[in-house]
């Protein structure tokens, strides 16, 4: 618990230093920001249209600007193609790599090659359990186990009994761990529902179909902010009384929490993940520092409810929460 609080503290301090910065991050095309002595590659498993990764990209680019460094951003949800992006960064002899590991096994060889080539690697978001094994100097993110267990307990306290846990990326170990850990601390029944996260209309239709088929479902847990909005639409269109809760945050999610159509959100602070991922590399480059002392630096979880939603609404509007 001390390590968790320390990690959150580091992330919170970093968050106070950040300024608003928007980013697209919705394609697999390369984007560059900043310009200076160091070049860092940020390579994620983001698919097209996933707003969560806009915030990661924005945080990384802001750090690059602050440190006078060049940031290149690439993404691909296919682990084989993401591995190729890592190999390309190694070939370009970048000064460091920030990478998310939704599919650690698929990236293992490329990450170890980067480390063997003397390029420091920082993992973010997913892959916390395998990060040190692959040779990364640290991991920035939240423990999906800790976050999932906290969500399961909070859902129990809310009084719901029969919950769908909506997984938007097949094979993403972090998302699977969220549902598994939430179920472990949930007093009712939790059933996983696989959807195609690249198609919001299909996500809403799939959830709506489940709610219509089983009126006993009184809760929907989504694993990304935009999918919570799909779930809210599905609940409305099916005339269900199910309550919606979600991992991750956006301006619209905050508004729905304030309106009472979303029960709560778990914020893992993606902006912080991008910002601190680059920060960790920069400090290593200029001073040989290793953030976290060999342990992960936690960027979350933090619960956003109706009681505190107003305090983060402005930052969410800026695209940094």
Tokens encoding 70: 């060049």
Which of 8-12, 75-79, 114-118, 119-123 has the least mean pLDDT? 8-12
Mean of all residue pLDDT scores within the chain: 89
Predicted local distance difference test score (pLDDT) of residue 99: 98
**Alpha carbons 88 and 107: distance in angstroms, whole number:** 13
Measuring CA to CA, how many Å separate 191 from each of 194, 210, 214? 10, 11, 12
Q: Are 85 and 76 in contact (CB under 8 A)?
A: yes
**Alpha carbons 166 and 162: distance in angstroms, whole number:** 13
Assign 29 a pLDDT band (cuts: 50, 70, 90): very low
127-131 long-range Cβ contacts below 8 angstroms, 24+ apart: 127/100, 127/101, 127/102, 127/173, 127/174, 128/296, 129/104, 130/101, 130/104, 131/101, 131/296
Q: Among 43-52, 167-176, 186-195, which range has the highest average pLDDT?
A: 186-195
Comparison of pLDDT for 157 and 4, the residue scoring more? 157
Q: How far is CA 1 from the centre of its chain?
A: 21
Q: Are 207 and 220 in contact (CB under 8 A)?
A: yes
pLDDT (average), residues 125-145: 95
Assign 8 a pLDDT band (cuts: 50, 70, 90): very low
Residues in the chain: 321
Assign 174 a pLDDT band (cuts: 50, 70, 90): confident
Predicted local distance difference test score (pLDDT) of residue 47: 85
Instruction: Read off the pLDDT of residues 205-250 as tens digits, 9 standing for 90 and up.
Output: 999 999 999 999 999 999 999 999 999 999 999 999 999 999 998 8
Give percent of the chain with pLDDT exceeding 90. 79
Predicted local distance difference test score (pLDDT) of residue 81: 98
Q: Which CATH superfamily is domain 144-267 in?
A: Response regulator (3.40.50.2300)
**Alpha carbons 232 and 207: distance in angstroms, whole number:** 10
Give percent of the chain with pLDDT exceeding 70. 89
pLDDT value at 49 more than 50: yes
**Alpha carbons 252 and 244: distance in angstroms, whole number:** 14
Nearest of 207, 225, 217, 210 to residue 243 by alpha carbon: 217
Predicted local distance difference test score (pLDDT) of residue 228: 97
Assign 33 a pLDDT band (cuts: 50, 70, 90): low
Question: Residue 247 contacts by C-beta under 8 Å, 6 or more apart in sequence?
Answer: 147, 151, 178, 221, 222, 223, 224, 225, 265, 266, 268
Beta-sheet pairing, 265-267 with 302-304: antiparallel
Tokens encoding 95: 């000064």
Tokens encoding 23: 């980013």
Q: Where are the domains of the chain?
A: 2-142+268-300, 144-267
Predicted local distance difference test score (pLDDT) of residue 1: 36
pLDDT value at 173 more than 60: yes
Buried (b) or exposed (e) across 282-306, using 16+ Cβ within 10 A?
bbbbeeeeebbeeebbbbbbbbbee
Topology (CATH level 3) of domain 2-142+268-300: Rossmann fold (3.40.50)
Question: Residue 261 contacts by C-beta under 8 Å, 6 or more apart in sequence?
Answer: 232, 235, 244
pLDDT (average), residues 278-300: 94
């Amino acid at each position: 618990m001390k390590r968790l609080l320390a990690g959150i503290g580091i992330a919170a301090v970093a968050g106070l230093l950040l300024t608003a910065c928007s980013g697209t991050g919705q394609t697999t095309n390369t984007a560059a920001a900043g310009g200076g002595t160091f070049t860092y590659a940020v390579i994620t498993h983001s698919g097209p249209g996933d707003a969560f990764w806009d915030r990661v990209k924005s945080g990384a680019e802001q750090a690059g600007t602050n440190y006078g460094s060049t940031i290149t951003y690439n993404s691909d949800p296919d682990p084989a193609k993401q591995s190729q992006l890592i190999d390309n960064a190694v070939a370009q002899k970048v000064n460091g790599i920030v990478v998310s590991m939704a599919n650690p096994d698929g990236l293992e060889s490329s990450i170890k090659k980067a480390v063997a080539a003397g390029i420091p690697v920082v993992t973010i978001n997913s892959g916390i359990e395998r990060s040190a094994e692959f040779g990364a100097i640290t991991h920035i993110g939240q423990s999906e186990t800790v976050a999932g267990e906290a969500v399961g307990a909070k859902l129990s306290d809310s009084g719901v009994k029969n919950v769908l846990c909506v997984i938007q990326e097949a094979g993403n170990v972090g998302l699977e761990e969220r549902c598994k850990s939430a179920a472990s601390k949930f007093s009712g029944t939790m059933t996983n529902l696989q959807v195609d996260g690249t198609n919001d209309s299909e996500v809403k239709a799939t959830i709506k179909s489940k709610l219509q088929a089983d009126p006993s479902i009184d809760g929907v847990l989504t694993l990304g902010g935009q999918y919570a909005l799909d779930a809210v639409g599905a609940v409305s269109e099916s005339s269900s009384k199910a309550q919606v809760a979600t991992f991750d945050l956006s301006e619209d999610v905050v508004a729905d929490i304030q309106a009472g159509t979303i029960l709560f959100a778990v914020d893992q602070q993606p902006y912080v993940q991008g910002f601190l991922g680059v920060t960790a590399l920069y400090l290593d480059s200029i001073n040989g520092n290793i953030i976290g002392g060999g342990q992960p630096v936690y960027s979350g979880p933090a619960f956003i409810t109706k009681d505190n939603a107003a305090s983060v609404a402005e930052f969410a509007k800026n695209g940094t929460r």
